[in-house]
């Protein structure tokens, strides 16, 4: 008995003395409650399930387990900042704020703390300029890319000529909703279409005035920059006035099943941008079923797998995991720090081979990052709602946004930010 006790004590001492391999801490600011919970739940589930899959199937990333923690924000900016403050002492390798408002608040804080912030297709567009926004990333595309991709698709529909056409932008009357205006105005000068602006006040439950105006003015196309209930009401109103749904295009945050299902069959043909694939038979689903769902480890109720927003959450986790892998490669250690992960993000190199190897063939555009480019190549695709199948389907390849227009806008905005905040653009 005495010997056994001694052996146990010795083992305990040895374990305590051995260098502990810290987990890779990747928290998530989620909103499973509140007005946007219907969107927040699938996104958070996809994000968490991907890391659970890596832990269960691969033993983590580079042999180190991922430690995951959610902090509930309710999509409230103040709570988001509180979450960040509570989590930052644990050295998170990356923060996904899941809200443009929270992202804006975290940009100066995370920059001071040296923690990478990744706003996937939302947040501050000009953060693409990595020389100014050293700790902020917005792969794989930003709002200005989205506006340009929408116009490119309309150009394609109209045989390359938009002169004399009318395009209406129905947008959430907030910083988020106003993002595409400048880009659409610039593109209007080039392509000759007339742009009309129709703001909708938060939360967007009452849009009769806007859609009566659309009915009167009969624009050729309507582009929507909406979120939450605004999307469902806008699509229902478009159905009510019999606006042709294939001439109605939403940003990627206006294109989930949640947005179209309340309008029923009338929403058939509605289009939305996307920066990720929407297939229902990716090989990764088998792994998720086997290693996550069947083990009872699925996030939430496990009923969101394969939905648009679930896949977007999963894609976000995938990019972060690839950045961590890249950081491990660059620095030759599995125990990476937030600063190393920033290097990983800047060296991000996701190709079609990468997607295929991860069980997601053709899932997204190629992404090549650099110090200067924190936002990717600016590619987006168009999806269309098939009401009978109950599914959004990709109807285009990935379309290159007009960087001749967007790059100068990003340069101007980021330089203005740098001047305001005494930042010298650099790659140190």
Partner 1 sequence: MPDQLLFGMEVFLNGLMAGVLYALVALGFVLIYKASGIFNYAQGVMALFAAMTLVGIMEGRVPFSHLINAVFGSNVHHFGWHLPAVVGIVLTVGVMVLLAWLVNALIMKHLVNQEPIILFMATIGLAYFMEGLGDLMWGADIKKLDVGLPQGINGTIDQITFDAFGYGFFIDNLDIWATIIAIVLVASLMVFSQYTKQGRALRAVADDHQAALSVGISLNFIWVLVWSIAGFVALVAGIMWGAKSGVQFSLSLIALKALPVLMLGGFTSIPGAIVGGLIIGVGEKMFEFAIGPMVGGATENWFAYVLALLFLVFRPQGLFGEKIIERV
Give the interface with partner 1 as residue ranges (CB under 8 A): 32-38, 41, 173, 197-203, 205-206, 208-210, 212, 215-216, 228-229, 232-233, 236, 239-242, 258, 261-262, 264, 266, 296, 301
Which of 210, 208, 209 minimizes the C-alpha distance to 224? 210
Q: How far is the CB of 311 from partner 1 (least distance, A)?
A: 17
The two three-digit tokens of residue 371, written as one number: 């110090």
**Strand 391-394, strand 379-386: pairing:** antiparallel
| Residue 40 or 116 with smaller CB distance to partner 1 | 40
| Residue 208 or 280 with smaller CB distance to partner 1 | 208
Cα distance between residue 40 and residue 98, in whole Å: 8
Contacts of 23 (CB under 8 A, 6+ apart): 60, 64, 65, 66, 67
- Angle formed at CA 408 by CA 403 and CA 412, multiple of 5 degrees: 145
Q: Distance between terminal CA atoms of the chain?
A: 60
Q: How far is the CB of 267 from partner 1 (least distance, A)?
A: 11
Cα distance between residue 327 and residue 59, in whole Å: 17
Residue with tokens 């988001």: 80
| Residue 256 or 320 with smaller CB distance to partner 1 | 256
| Residue 62 or 300 with smaller CB distance to partner 1 | 300
Q: How far is the CB of 301 from partner 1 (least distance, A)?
A: 5
Cα distance between residue 233 and residue 263, in whole Å: 8
Phi-psi region of 91 (alpha: psi -120 to 50; beta: other; left: phi over 0): left
**Sign of the C-alpha dihedral computed for residues 273, 276, 282 and 288 taken in this order:** negative
Cα distance between residue 148 and residue 377, in whole Å: 13
Q: How far is the CB of 295 from partner 1 (least distance, A)?
A: 12
Q: How far is the CB of 91 from partner 1 (least distance, A)?
A: 31
| Residue 175 or 241 with smaller CB distance to partner 1 | 241
| Residue 168 or 410 with smaller CB distance to partner 1 | 168
Cα distance between residue 223 and residue 367, in whole Å: 26
| Residue 2 or 242 with smaller CB distance to partner 1 | 242
| Residue 34 or 425 with smaller CB distance to partner 1 | 34
Q: How far is the CB of 15 from partner 1 (least distance, A)?
A: 34
**Residue 340 · residue 332 · CB < 8 Å:** no
| Residue 105 or 213 with smaller CB distance to partner 1 | 213
Cα distance between residue 332 and residue 336, in whole Å: 9
Q: How far is the CB of 125 from partner 1 (least distance, A)?
A: 21
Q: How far is the CB of 302 from partner 1 (least distance, A)?
A: 9
117 HSE (CA, 13 A, CB side): 35
Q: How far is the CB of 95 from partner 1 (least distance, A)?
A: 24
Cα distance between residue 210 and residue 196, in whole Å: 11
**Residue 383 · residue 142 · CB < 8 Å:** no
């Amino acid at each position: 008995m005495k010997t056994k006790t001694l052996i146990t004590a010795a083992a305990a001492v040895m374990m305590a003395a051995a260098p502990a391999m810290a987990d890779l801490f990747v928290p998530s600011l989620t909103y499973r409650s509140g007005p946007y919970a219907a969107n927040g739940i699938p996104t958070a589930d996809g994000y968490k399930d991907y890391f659970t899959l890596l832990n269960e199937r691969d033993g983590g990333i580079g042999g180190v387990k991922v430690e995951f923690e959610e902090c509930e924000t309710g999509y409230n900016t103040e709570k988001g900042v509180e979450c960040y403050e509570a989590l930052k002492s644990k050295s998170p390798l990356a923060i996904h704020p899941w809200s443009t408002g929270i992202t804006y608040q975290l940009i100066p804080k995370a920059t001071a703390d040296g923690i990478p912030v990744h706003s996937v297709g939302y947040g501050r567009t000009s953060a693409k300029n990595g020389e100014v926004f050293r700790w902020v990333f917005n792969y794989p595309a930003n709002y200005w890319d989205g506006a340009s991709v929408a116009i490119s698709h309309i150009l394609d529909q109209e045989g390359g000529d938009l002169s004399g056409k009318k395009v209406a932008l129905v947008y959430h009357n907030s910083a988020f909703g106003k993002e595409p205006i400048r880009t659409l105005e610039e593109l209007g000068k080039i392509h000759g279409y007339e742009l009309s602006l129709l703001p909708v006040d938060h939360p967007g439950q009452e849009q009769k005035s806007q859609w009566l105006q659309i009915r009167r003015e009969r624009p050729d196309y309507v582009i929507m920059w909406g979120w939450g209930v605004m999307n469902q009401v806008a699509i229902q109103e478009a159905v009510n006035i019999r606006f042709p749904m294939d001439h109605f295009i939403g940003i990627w945050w206006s294109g989930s099943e949640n947005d179209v299902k309340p309008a029923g069959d009338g929403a058939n043909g509605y289009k939305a941008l996307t920066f990720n694939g929407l297939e229902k038979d990716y090989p990764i689903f088998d792994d998720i079923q086997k290693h996550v769902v069947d083990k009872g480890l699925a996030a939430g109720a496990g009923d969101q797998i394969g939905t648009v927003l679930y896949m977007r959450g999963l894609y976000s986790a995938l990019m972060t995991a690839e950045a961590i892998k890249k950081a491990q490669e660059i620095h030759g250690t599995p125990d990476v720090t937030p600063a190393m992960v920033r290097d990983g993000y800047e060296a991000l190199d996701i190709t079609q081979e990468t997607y295929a190897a991860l069980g997601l063939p053709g899932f997204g555009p190629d992404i090549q990052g650099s110090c200067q480019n924190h936002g990717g190549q600016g590619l987006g695709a168009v999806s269309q709602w098939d009401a009978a199948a109950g599914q959004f389907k990709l109807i285009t390849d990935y379309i290159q946004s007009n960087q001749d227009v967007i790059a100068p806008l990003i340069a101007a905005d980021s330089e203005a930010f740098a001047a305001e905040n005494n930042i010298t653009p650099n790659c140190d």
